[in-house]
Amino acid sequence: MTEGVPYQGACRRDSDLIICIPQGQSVTFTVVLMAIYSYIPILLFVVLVIWYLWRRSIIAATVLASLIIALIFNEGIIKNIVKQKRPIESCACSYGMPSGHSLCSTLLLFWICYEFIYVPMDKTLTKQKRILYIALATVIFGVGHTYTVPAAIITDTIDIEMEQSGDDGSLAFRVGEALSVHEDGSKSQSIVTIDSNDWQHHSADQEENTNDMDRAI
């Protein structure tokens, strides 16, 4: 991070990795924090590479491949079509729109959504993961105020505890109920749950004739 770089001279450095502070602007905690925050895409890339090399994770490979393809498409094609210059404070001479940081943030958003939607079916969504994703989403996308982060974690923890079932403490998510009418006039009510160990379909058959059920309703 270089202090005192003139506006018009900053571009001569031609680097996306250098943060320039305009002349006359003091180096405050917020400025330093935003400078560090701007390196999140690089940190995300490094974490994904290490994750894949360490665990051979298909999720890490998918997100990493998506990130590389998106950056190539964004930096190599779209920016050269739009050709919008960066702010004069920037140390880079490349075009600035569409934003690579916004692209990475959007990709991370889809990643988090994917984890919430599909990971329960893959039986690997743990309490720790759900809390981590809630916290990440709250911080990265600026949902509400600072205190919403611990509030979201506490709320999600309580929600998970209420969803626990079974002697082994496995997670079970109640997704709905179904009422079936059989040919003999009897009816059965089914509760469908998603369990972290297995899909379970609990049926509590209630042998009632049609007239009794109608009167109850």
How far apart, in whole angstroms, are the C-alpha atoms of residue 102 and residue 83? 17
Q: In this predicted structure, which of 25-34, 109-118, 165-174, 181-190 has the lowest mean pLDDT? A: 165-174
Which carries the bigger pLDDT value, residue 121 or residue 97? 97
How far apart, in whole angstroms, are the C-alpha atoms of residue 209 and residue 83? 73
pLDDT confidence of residue 63? 76
Domain boundaries, the chain: 2-121, 126-162, 172-216
Cβ neighbours of residue 101 closer than 8 Å, sequence gap 6 or more: 38, 40, 41
Q: C-alpha distances in angstroms, 150 versus 131, 160, 162?
A: 10, 15, 18
Give the tens place of pLDDT for each residue, 158-200.
444 444 444 444 444 444 444 455 556 665 555 444 444 443 4
- Residue 19: strand, helix, or coil: coil
How far apart, in whole angstroms, are the C-alpha atoms of residue 87 and residue 75? 17
pLDDT confidence of residue 57? 74
